Structure 1
């Protein structure tokens, strides 16, 4: 089955990095490798045929809604859940059956899991005590991560005496102190307010780059995923739908679920009716006339799929455009939503398609309810995608 066909059916996609070789040797494609991992809870599949390789020093995020299998995949790597089938490798060594303490993995969770009766320094020291590190060596490592996370002045405080951002840094310091081969993070910024979350996001990325940590990060927050990641894997119903760098994932989604989950998009049911060397012609529900799509942007294995375009790619004007190879549709404004520097304009075609575009907020007087406009876009701005619900 081709990548496009797998995406169209909702079947698992293959990560672009190689997984385990056929000769039975441990894979060497990455610091972390999931090779055909499955996880069932009773009769319910939580993770299905999961394949992913993470390079040393890479920051990879699993993004998806609740119940998509992203946290289960992370817990399998940590050894907190066992895989029903498949293998997990760390630095080329199979660890599928290893207990968590033999995997040399750092963990950071949303609630930080700090010990309230211990000071900052004592919380950070805990993993070293469990490893029976010599006191002098342990103190040297504690001082190192206190400096790295800018917590030295707080080392004698208790968690209740710290802000949310400071507690999060303690959790990171505790995860980094024993020099783990891989750092796993499950919604670590979810409990913070927006301003602090944005600040900690930048701190976290700078820290990861400084020490070269290999990170597998789990979130349902698309802004976090876009800002932090070298690559993002989008999960849905236990299936890894697509794995790619953030810009590629946003600009070139392989199916309608990825397009809708990551960023805003206009997605409408459509059908391929014609194609030539340059274009695919699609009949889009709610749009009179046929729409041109660049052949390179036709990624549906089936004749039926979804037309997709990002709102920022759509031009809006009072007159019908006459440029060659441009799509155009007449619309009426339903409402607009003020978003500070820009407004989101909601429109409807004569055939009932609901569309939205974004324009600078100073132009909002031009988009009163009931006003008429033309929307237009190039064939290279839109895509014809596999339909995945």
Structure 2
């Protein structure tokens, strides 16, 4: 029987990688739904290639263009996620949620009740709305699968068995393009330099987050949420070659390390074939890399973004929404040449310390609207800044 799946954000890098994997095993999959925001031409091409009957395009102008372009009467085109009960009239086997940014939170929560398992690659959803996601997972008995290489590695090591036995979790960071850059040269950084990640091919936003180390701040929050581990038991280690993705020290003295080649293909493949004995073509073990892991602690002077971890409340709150929205804002300012690279952490830390925001550290989001309303308010506050 074919495995029925949906891909939210099928035109992004995660979605495209997943479709490449499925392409080699088409006979075992039936794609029930593909979605995108603006890339309507690629979305339509994917739908035709995989014979998908339902697609969602959320940008209204692109929706109109797609409706005009599509001549295939067998493809149903929707402009939002309000018709999931019509599209998915029976619970499907697997969903990949890889919509970028906070826009991915609502679709992720909405689709949980329609799927037996959901792989989530959307950082912002896990950071800002984890308690809402978790409630839906429990209510609908849906299996959660992390996709980020670090979190998939932790999940694979723990295998849902050892949560209470964990002494320390270590996630790794490549250090990005400026690991070897001298501190006084950071002020001269140009956009093209910040976008040039040494190991991973990523979009502009996440590339800048990797360069500032904000990406690791986000991943620490995700680790705390997904695995219910307090911040004090999570550490970041710089690992320039990105071969080891996670390491866990257990209370019984055992240390487990998970390594794989620098490719998102590995965690994506393993979430797709969860509990199935499938082989992926991968590289042989790189002994040279294992002998030269070069693990080290972070230089906090060079990467001041790490200080944000000291500002976070112990429990999930609306403060994380302020963090995500404000970081997006300052990254966009840099990409639009409005501020310098070194100013991103300075301005962000200053903004996060504004007195009126501190009350949100003790407020947990009760519904998606809480997150949406606060994110809108924070954006207005940011636009009023004189920078």
TM-score by length of 1: 0.22
TM-score by length of 2: 0.22
- From the two aligned structures, give the one with the greater strand fraction: 1
Greater relative CO, 1 or 2 (CA 8 Å, sep 6+): 1
